[in-house]
Each structure stands twice: as C-alpha cells, then as structure tokens.
Amino acid sequence: MSNIVWELDFYSRPVLDENGKKQWEVLICESPNDIERSPDTLFKYAEYCSSTSVNSLWLREAIERAIAEAGTSPKKIRFFRRQMNNMIVKACEDIGITPLPSRRTYALNQWIETRIDDVYPHEEGYDLKTAQTPSVQYPPLNPIALPDAVKGDRGDKWTLVSLPASAFDEMKEWDIAFEDSFSLSLVNTTPDTIIPGLIVYSPRATPLAAWMSGLEMGYLQLEKSARSQLRLETGLSDSWTLVNLTNKEMVKEAESFETAKEKANGVHFVAVQTEPDSESFAGFWLLKE
C-alpha cells in the first residue's frame, strides 16, 4: 500500500475572472515525510476553478487529474483549512483516500506564500485589494489529559534538550520505532541552528509512542497559567497536556525552550524513550509551529 501523503488547499485566490469574480484554486503537493527529501523533488499540482464550479465533485475530479499526472495515488491527504472540511472530506472519501485535518502542511504553507509573492501578482485579473498572506488561527482549547493506558504508573519523567540541525543528517540511522519528520531545507535553518526538543522517559514508552503515532502531530507549546504546562497540539483542534510545570524552575526552562523554538523558525521535536541511557527511541517526531 502507498505510504505517500499529499497536502491540499482549495480556496479563493486574489485573481478575478472576466466577470470580476474571484477565481478558486486547488493546490496539491507531496508531504516531505523524510528528513533527506529535497523540497525541489516534491510533486506539485495547481489548477484554477471558476467560483460557479466550486463543489466536491469538481475537487474530486481535480484530485483524480493530479493522480493521473503523478502516476500514483496518495494514502492520505492533509488539509489545514477548517471551513473547507466537508467538501475536502467528501472529495477524498469518494475516491478512497483518507482525509487528514492537519497543522502539518509545511510544504503547502510555504508554496502558498511563494505563490502570493511570485505568481498571483503576475496573473491577469490580479486584485491587490484582496491579496494577503493567509493567516490560519487556531483558537485555544482546554487541553485533555493523556489516556491512563499510556502513562506510567508512577508518572513519566521528562527533560528539555537541544541538538544542532546538522545532527538530523544522521536521523535515518537512529533506532526509532514510530517517527515522522520533514526536510529542514523547507525552513530557514543552517547546520548550526539549535533545534530544541522534549524527551519523555516512560516505562510505557512503546504504548505511549504508538498512541502518539495515531495522532496528527502539530506542535508543542507552553501555556502559562495557574497550572502551567507544555501542550501537544494535534489535528486541527485537539490539545493534550503532555507535561505539567509544577514550579518556577520548570516554567523558566520551558520559556527557554520557547525562545529557542522561535530562533529555529518554529522547528522542534518530541521524543519518547524508556530511560535516559536508552540508545533507541520508542517515538521521535520533528515538528514545526
């Protein structure tokens, strides 16, 4: 079965047709689920759509045209635009592809920004008034506690660490049971860029990592409140309490993590191990906020 994952956006663009109506566009690109995969080699497909033709049938047929052009079909299609959920889900399911609401559309987000700067302004009918960089906001949600079945009986331990970006060149050689990554060349990093991360040590490392692998991992974020914590954001709207920060020292350490994450253009990682001396990972996910 194909392990290929695509990313999709279907929305109006700042380009008007001959009737002065906004044109819509489907953008489809391959997810770079490999630390070594060059973004330049990713499959991409773009097609404009009249505003009067916007429906799940047109979108399904566009996906089928992309499949024909690629010569292969994806197993899943990620999408970030919540307001298009019903149409995208129906189009995907009608052709047997799993739709995946996700904050992990890194290649697609970068491509959209590039088209806003370099493509749409040169199109006939470009409308400067409606041209803007898409800003997708995710409202804060109340985090959910991790399921008891994946937590250690005596509680899990954790540590915040960091690695230079160059260390990920050897990620293919690491012993990892469950993982997901992307090419760091997608983001503005150098070999010396410091990538911060969280390692969770748990006697139930494998069940925890297996459970996390079933989530569409988004990013890790500090929440400062009366009960400060590090939240794991997944899918488009789920939030989990991964680490409770029970004293000022922990909060300060988490603040340093957030600062390092910002300097790394949002790139960070979450890992799961049985113990600090372990040479293998039950799970490892490279993430970007």
Domain residue limits, the chain: 5-130, 144-288
Q: How many whole angstroms from its chain centre is CA 212?
A: 14
Q: For residue range 232-241, what is the model confidence (pLDDT) as tens digits?
A: 999 988 899 9
pLDDT score at 288: 94
pLDDT score at 218: 92
CA dist 70 and 162 (Å) reads: 38
CATH of domain 5-130: 3.30.420.10
Residue 133: pLDDT over 60: no
Residue 1: pLDDT band with limits 50, 70, 90:
very low
Q: Which residues of the chain form beta strands (DSSP E)?
A: 5-16, 22-30, 44-49, 76-79, 98-101, 144-145, 157-164, 176-180, 194-201, 217-223, 229-234, 238-244, 267-273, 281-288
Q: For residue range 90-106, what is the model confidence (pLDDT) as tens digits?
A: 999 999 999 999 999 99
